[in-house]
Structure 1
Amino acid sequence: MRSTVADVMTTGVASVTENTGYKEIVQALLEQGVSALPVVDADGGILGVVSEEDLLHKEEFKDTDHDSNYWPPLRARLRSRLTGAGVLVERADEKAVATTAGQLMTHPAITTRPDAAVVEAARLMERRGVKRLPVVDAAGALVGMISRRDLLRVFLQNDDTIAAAVQEEIDHLAATVQGTDIAAAVKDGTVALTGSVHHRSTGHTLARLVNRIEGVVSVDNRMTWHVDDLLMPYAGL
């Protein structure tokens, strides 16, 4: 069974409101030992996320008065962020003069649900270019946060648990496909598949299914086959 966001997310998450001031945000980040905080409304609904990156713009642009020879390059003044509508370019220098969470936050917040699969959350982070996701319930209220570090917990599955899941896949294959004689060994999350199958495509499919098992780091496919149907020429050619 695949883990869900609820299995690995952090609960009891500290948050700030739109009116929370800059120094108060910094203090909360340091006290909580986190790199970002969700910004919520009076009903606990998620409005955005304020991060260390948002706060550090103020330091980067501090020395930009008329008497200074320094002015950050354009790539530093503009920040690109993926959104559902495409690429959003934000003015980092504008955030440098912001004083509240509402002015500093990245919004709208990209969120996930507690019942979402961990792999779905990982893909969402990668696709949207974010390091963490607020987790909201059906009503849109904040119930937790999930970070890239939290996602790594799925790889802490012990080898015995992984081996049992792999054997289920092998048993199912053997019961449905003739000529299947496969064994598996698991060490530190790496699965070595040995034995033989009639068609090469059968072994290819099994290796792909095993690689999707939670906690599997890699698959060492040593299976042999009798018919290489993956390289058979098209009929009529």
Structure 2
Amino acid sequence: MNAKLNSDKSFCQHLYTIQSVLKLDIKTLCIPYAHILAPDDSYAVVRRKFLESRLHSLPVVDERSKRCYGIVHRSNLLIISASRTFATAKDLVDPAIEATIDTPFKHAVSLLIAGKGYAVLVNQIKHFECLLGVESLLENLLAANDKFLEQPIKRVMVEDVAYVKRGESVERVWRKLLTSKVSALAVIEDDGRIIGVVSEYDLLARGYARPRFESDNRVGNSPSIETLMSTPPFTVKPGDPLRIAVEWMASKNIGRVYVVDDDDRLLGVVDRLSIAKAWLSSR
């Protein structure tokens, strides 16, 4: 039931027709057409922009002054209490990690890692220029046909995978996402086979955030995970080249791919940040 790389592979085929060189230019890390939150955007508007963009983090910027108030992470929306649902974007921000046009490329990548995958590019007078994202690094690696992508996935994967079992309640999933400090959980059977994935996006899209649980705080009333998990999961094998996982992430706009054995039992995970860390350590 796992998704296989077939016609989707053509998504990136045109990138490999010629060998090119990775451009170590910080501007190539900008996310084109990224949504920007206005300081006074309501909770509902912030939620809608996150769902439309499918990004993990969005900057809060005053369009007139170009001042950046900070970054809102998607997880911030899941923990806001019912008494704060009237909060605006500027009430939800965390400090933004900043880079400038003079920031060396490798250091910019390290800033992305420190910022959960995102940072903001500002000019000399601290005006917002663009949102920098780790997904842009992966797209650059594909475009450059970088040899880094030819190594086996097992060299990059993380074996300590956050997961939940089939049948667990959505409330327990919500709590585990927060305590595990990850943006998605694998859903597995008792024998370790992966059957789906549930993410912050899934919870947010279906309205399962803290206010929902505060109004109905009995675990037994919370629906089971099968009602919102994404299926089939995107999986790879330990010996597959890393390129396959990155192609999945780019073509499907997903943040991670799970590593399984021949029986689909969960072995590990490779995500955007683990790839960025491995790339940085290889330089």
TM-score (normalizing by structure 2): 0.41
Indicate the structure (1 or 2) with the bigger Cα radius of gyration: 1
Judging by fraction of residues, say which structure has more strand. 1
Question: Which structure has more RCO (C-alpha within 8 Å, separation ≥ 6)?
Answer: 2
Judging by fraction of residues, say which structure has more helix. 2
TM-score (normalizing by structure 1): 0.48
